[in-house]
Amino acid sequence: MTQRYFGTDGIRGTVGEFPITPDFMLKLGWASGRVFARLAEGAGRCSVIIGKDTRVSGYMFESALEAGLVAAGVNVKLLGPMPTPAVALMTRKQNADAGIVISASHNPFYDNGIKFFGADGSKLPDEVELAIEAELALDLVTVQSRDIGKVVRVEDAAGRYTEFCKSTVPEGFSLRGLRIALDCAHGATYHIAPSVLGELGAEVITIGAEPDGFNINKGVGSTDIDALSAVVREQGVDLGIAYDGDGDRVLMVDADGSLVDGDELLYIIAMHRLATGKSDAGVVGTQMSNLGLELALREQGLQFARAQVGDRHVKAMMEANGWLLGGESSGHIICSDVTTTGDGIVASLQVLMALQAAGGDLRALRAGINMLPQTMINVAVQGKVDLAAYPEIGSAVSAVEAQLGERGRVLLRPSGTEPKVRVMVEGEDEREVAGLCRGLADDVQQVLG
């Protein structure tokens, strides 16, 4: 069976358009509940954790999923608004059989989606996603009344996750004397990240921490860094930290307000681990990772491997290689010796530990990495696209690769979460890269209409 609903990171789309509708979510809750119950067979009544970000539609989908799960005979524990990595953590801590996050991550409020975690706090493997899709093709049948699941709300979930985040730094670690501008994207970290950094001693200036259901990621957060950069420059703080709507990504800005992206943050963490003797043989990135990251890590004697885009692919390659550090340019960073999935708050604390140990600033910490100019253009398409079916596109890519030679690279990738094809060109000359990317994107647009 071919996957129909699941993309790179769960199921995502526009609210009110299939499959992001209440009736589908009801069926999805039932279908996933049946699969999780089978996986937990013999271990007592199956239980599932549900968390969400701050989108107004989250309440609607929470209720629908809850109804479907209990109709399948599964108990449900509700966390309320919580970062995605917090749901992964609480799934493990509550001994649940699975975790569900209602979020469209960095997308606007009118989108929403569903992410799943297994009992170990990791994203679901393909075979479990396919099993859920197979159940979706069946008629919904409610279990007998005596077998219907029950629903409870987990008290102080935010407090528990706050304490976990603080436990990922050494005893006695302090941010006292550090002034940090913090952007929570009006999302799921709004009530947690300021507390974590403040309780560790930092002076925190917070923006993007007043969610109203509609303003998530709007002009703030890791997808729109300008507001944070302005605050850093105006307030004269030491650095800025920005999370995305569901808190699994982090980007930073230095004291000048300049962006420090996920590749650079990954490099900073890797160098700190190398300096403290905690480094593995290598680091995992993705097809989108800047070539400068690979070159900088190899210069320090570390290997670098590229996985497919998507944190679960990064995690799978980390496990295959026996490495503990990996991430994406978007700021989705996984420290698997600390937690099971990408965690914006935890990753930012890893960077802050490196900052404190070096006694410098972000600009100095990233001096060892020379980021090559990289341009990416998103080309809108209708539905899923098989690029291999268009030889004209392959010829256009070959022409650009021939012009770049060994000085750069080209990547075309259909998005797993949006109806877009991502066109990326990377090389030594910024003007050449931008021009080649624009031309290639035009070619793709013309072929795909």
Domain(s) of CATH 3.30.310.50: residues in the chain: 374-448
Residue 426, pLDDT score: 94
Residues 6+ apart with CB under 8 A from 40: 46, 97, 119
Length, in residues, of the chain: 449
Residue 449: beta bridge partners? none
pLDDT for residue 295 is more than 70: yes
Distance CA(103)–CA(185), nearest Å, equals: 13
Weakest-pLDDT range from 1-10, 34-43, 354-363 = 1-10
What is the mean pLDDT of the segment spanning 178-199? 98
Which pLDDT score, from 0 to 100, does residue 360 have? Answer: 80
Mean pLDDT score, 194-201: 98
- State the pLDDT at residue 219: 97
pLDDT at 382: 86
Whether 105 is catalytic: yes
- pLDDT reading at 188 higher than 60: yes
pLDDT in tens, 305-322: 999 988 889 999 999 999
Q: What is the overall mean pLDDT for the chain?
A: 95
Whether the pLDDT of residue 29 is over 60: the answer is yes
Q: What is the mean pLDDT of residues 215-227?
A: 97
Residue tagged active-site, from 57, 105, 279, 348: 105
* Backbone angles phi and psi of 112, in degrees to 5: -155, 170
Q: To the nearest whole percent, how much of the chain has pLDDT over 70? A: 98
Does residue 291 or residue 252 have the better pLDDT?
Answer: 252
Tell me, letter by letter, the H, E, C secondary structure of 132-168: HHHHHCCCCCCCCHHHCCCEEECCCHHHHHHHHHHHC
Confidence of residue 246 (pLDDT cuts 50, 70, 90): very high
Provide the CATH number for the domain formed by 11-156 in this structure: 3.40.120.10
At residue 405 the predicted structure's pLDDT band, cuts being 50, 70 and 90, is confident
Say whether pLDDT at 1 is over 60: no
pLDDT confidence of residue 379:
95
- Least confidently predicted of 314-328, 344-358, 408-422: 408-422
**Which two structure tokens, joined as six digits, stand for 94?**
């509550």
- 406 pLDDT tier (thresholds 50, 70, 90): confident
Q: Sign of torsion, CA 293 296 299 300?
A: negative
The yes/no answer on whether domain 374-448 falls in CATH 3.30.310.50 is yes
- Amino acid 177: pLDDT: 95
Contacts of 408 (CB under 8 A, 6+ apart): 291, 372, 425, 426, 427, 428, 433
pLDDT for the residue numbered 2: 59
At residue 304, the 3 state secondary structure works out as strand
261-365 CATH, one of 3.60.110.10, 3.40.120.10, 3.60.15.10, 3.40.1110.10: 3.40.120.10
Closest CA to 329 of 290, 355, 300, 295: 290
pLDDT (0 to 100) of residue 3:
64
**Each residue's pLDDT tens digit, 359-397:** 889 999 999 999 999 999 999 998 888 999 999 999 999
> For the chain, first and last CA: distance in Å?
29
Does residue 213 register a pLDDT over 90? yes
* Total Cβ atoms within 10 A of residue 244: 32
Q: What's residue 92's pLDDT?
A: 96
Q: Tokens representing 244?
A: 């995305």
Per-residue pLDDT band for 43 (boundaries 50, 70, 90) equals low
Q: Are strands 239-243 and 179-183 parallel, antiparallel or unpaired?
A: parallel
- How far from the centroid of its chain's Cα atoms is residue 238's Cα? 25
* Mean pLDDT of all residues in 147-152: 97
> Considering the domain 167-259 in this protein, what is its CATH number?
3.40.120.10
Of 127, 129, 124, the residue nearest 6 (C-alpha): 129
Q: Is the pTM of this model over 0.85?
A: yes
Confidence of residue 9 (pLDDT cuts 50, 70, 90): confident
What pLDDT, on a 0 to 100 scale, did the predictor assign at position 327? 98
* Start-end of CATH 3.40.120.10 domains in the chain: 11-156, 167-259, 261-365
pLDDT, position 33: 98
Q: Among the listed ranges 214-223, 272-281, 415-424, which one has the minimum average pLDDT value?
A: 415-424
Distance CA(415)–CA(424), nearest Å, equals 12
Q: What is the mean pLDDT of residues 284-288?
A: 94
Q: Which amino acid is at 360?
A: G
Q: Is the pLDDT of residue 168 over 80?
A: yes
